[in-house]
Amino acid sequence: MRLNNTPVLETERLILRKFTEHDIEAILDIYRDPEVNTFLPWFPIETLEEAKTLYEEKYAREYKKMRGYRYAVCLKTDNIPVGYVHVSIDDSYDLGYGLRKEFWNKGIMTEAAGAVVKQLREDGYSYITATHDVRNPRSGDLMRRLGMNYQYTYEEQWQPKDVPVTFRMYQLNFDNGSIRRYDRYWIISKVHYVEDEQELFADVRND
């Protein structure tokens, strides 16, 4: 695979780029809303100082590495971040995302995440994964719109909130015909199982 570190991407409505030190207020707006952060592992932030620390630890530090995909999702109209898309560069290649709730139900995250998935395919990755809390089925709906397939369900004590969560794991293999499945979560979780997929497709679109 080619080495890459958050190349700028453009879609019809969006610019996906690195966060910068000029985005601190936007970062606060994204990460402060308790509703937006309900199904995310970290606690909402409350101050600009916390936003600056988050930027330095989650973004600026990662941008110094040779590989990485940590995007600010910006509308072309003003280039101000309204959300983010991340892909972890470990063996899970886990896709994560968040979006300010006033931009939900507009297809923005489907457009943004789709562009990142396309970039990873072009950069030579073999697969990506993503997980969602079973109480957040709209996230699973987004994963399916990206072409990802449900693999299994497992339980985890999520940190730093330290709460038990039941997750569904999805995967997209870029090499056609592969039956590869990322099993790390299955192996480390004491509770894991495969659900009836007909129940999963009852999810409601809301990204």
Residue 205 pLDDT = 46
User: Is 206 a residue whose pLDDT tops 80?
Assistant: no
pLDDT at 202: 61
SS3 state of residue 140: helix
pLDDT tens, position by position, 130-179: 999 999 999 999 999 999 999 999 999 988 888 999 999 999 999 876 78
Query: What's the alpha-carbon Rg for the chain, to the nearest Å?
Result: 17
DSSP bridge partners of 87: 69, 95
**List of residues 6+ apart from 90 with CB closer than 8 A:** none
Total-model pTM: 0.92
pLDDT higher than threshold 60 for residue 204: no
- Domains delineated in the chain: 9-200 (3.40.630.30)
- Give the tens place of pLDDT for each residue, 86-125: 999 999 999 999 999 999 999 999 999 999 999 999 999 9
Q: Which of 30, 129, 127, 38 has the alpha carbon at shortest distance from 71?
A: 30
Would you call the peptide bond into 160 cis, given omega within 30 degrees of 0 as the criterion?
yes
> pLDDT tens digits, residue range 17-58?
999 999 999 999 999 999 888 888 889 999 999 999 999 999
**DSSP per-residue codes, 25-85:** HHHHHHHS-TTTTTTSSSPPP-SHHHHHHHIIIIIITGGGSSSBEEEEEEETTT--EEEEE
